[in-house]
Structure 1
Amino acid sequence: MELDFKEIFTAFMILFAVIDIIGNIPIIIDLRKKVGHIQSEKASIIAGVILILFLFIGQNILSLIGIGVNSFAVAGAFILFFIALEMILGITLYKHEENDLSTASVFPLAFPLIAGPGSLTTLLSLRAEFRIENIIVAIIVNVIIIFIVLKTSSKIERFLGPNGISIIRKVFGVILLAIAVKLFAANIKALFELS
């Protein structure tokens, strides 16, 4: 096992940018208002397990069901696009089932918000460049930060106030929309080249 700090840091920064847990604070706060309580530990652990599992078996699962990485990324772009629209326009596209509050920690928080198509697709591309143990360390560090943010989201909300949250929500919504468009453009082009 050969840990390389530079590889860990680079993989961590790429994943951190894609997961964008800071930008997701407004969504986390909205979700907490809808369902009352979010199980931070459960959401963080499940997201970490999904990310690490996908790192090992993602490519195999996709090829087994005949889906290319590009198709997966295009699907991810659509999900990011709709989440971004919610953030920018202040509309609700995701309706939570009121009778099952326990699932909020898993869906949509652990998946697809944290371990979503964007981060899963990123893992597949990181695997081509970096050693697997360095990526695992980068995932674990990200999961720890995600847990801290989930645990302190109410304090962050109080510090920023409703206006601060609203501004951050719209700004990150636009950034997320740009990431969705970039992800879509890059992968739809690759899909057409393949066909």
Structure 2
Amino acid sequence: MFDYFVSAAITMLVVLDPIGLAPLFLGVTGGLSTEERRKVALRATAIALAILATFGAIGAPLLHALGITLPAFRIAGGLLLFAISFEMVFARRTERAPDEVENSAREHRLHNLAVFPLAIPLMAGPGAITAMMLLAGEARGDPIRLAGLFAITAVVVGLCLAVYLAADRTNRLLGVTGNAILTRLLGVVLTALAVQFVIDGIRGAFFA
């Protein structure tokens, strides 16, 4: 059982990669205030945790019942991620932010940002969902192992939240020019990640 918990902790740390998410969080929340970033971070991590817990509990049978394969999940995640990376590279997100001056419109944007791309697919993406379902399958219905898996997942998501909340300090250090450069560079990285998702999905669908 100890080996299972260690394996689960390492797996979830690797697939969620809290440290690696910090610069991406800065990139996609460009133009937001400190308080708005905090709200987005809290919502994104809560949504991601709920999604991962759900897929850990009923994910495999649900996908099987719907006839959806994991490679299809990877391809869909890659296409969605490509859309947001395009906006980052060409600064579309920060350019349209000042136009949303009404509180209701801005709040709606913050909710959307927390869901996509932060919760899905950056945190609860194809890799994390797949890992969660596989680890839940390895538990073989043992309630102690399943409880441990969910607790480990909650801790790792909590680490992501801590990294998000600390990212604002990095934002202040970078300044306007540094943030503009970082956003575009990360947009390119995110584009490559999106393409890799699609490649992995095609490979899994047709060449597995």
TM-score normalised over the length of structure 1: 0.76
Conserved? CA contact 2:49–2:157, under 8 Å? yes
- Count of residue correspondences: 191
Structure 1 segments (4+ residues) deviating >4 Å: 95-98, 129-135
How far has the Cα of 1:148 moved from its partner?
2.4
* Secondary structure at the counterpart of residue 23 of structure 1: helix
> Per-residue deviation at 1:113?
2.2
For residue 142 of structure 1, what is the aligned residue in structure 2? 156
Distance 1:159 1:177, change over 3 A: same
Q: d(CA) in 1 for partners of 2:36 and 2:158? A: 19
Q: How many angstroms does 1:15 deviate by?
A: 1.4
Q: Which consecutive residues of structure 1, in runs of 5 or more, have no partner in the other structure? A: none
Q: Percent identity, aligned pairs only?
A: 22
List per-residue Cα deviations over 1:73-103 (Å, max 9, x = no partner): 111110111111112222249x787534444
Contact 2:18 2:156 in 1 (8 A): no
Higher helix share: 2
* CA distance in structure 2 between the partners assigned to 1:137 and 1:180 by the alignment: 29
Greater Rg, structure 1 or structure 2? 2
Aligned mates of 2:179, 2:164 — CA distance in 1: 15
Counterpart position of 1:52: 53
Q: Distance in 2 between matches of 1:105 and 1:92?
A: 12
1:188 aligns with 2:192: no
Q: Is the 8 A contact 2:45 2:119 kept in 1?
A: no
Match of 2:67, SS? coil
Q: Of 121, 130, 134, which residue of structure 2 is paired with 1:128?
A: 134
TM-score normalised by length of structure 2:
0.72
Q: Which ranges of structure 2 fall in alignment gaps of 5 or more residues? A: 140-145
Contact 1:59 1:124 in 2 (8 A): no
| Structure 2 counterpart of 1:177 | 191
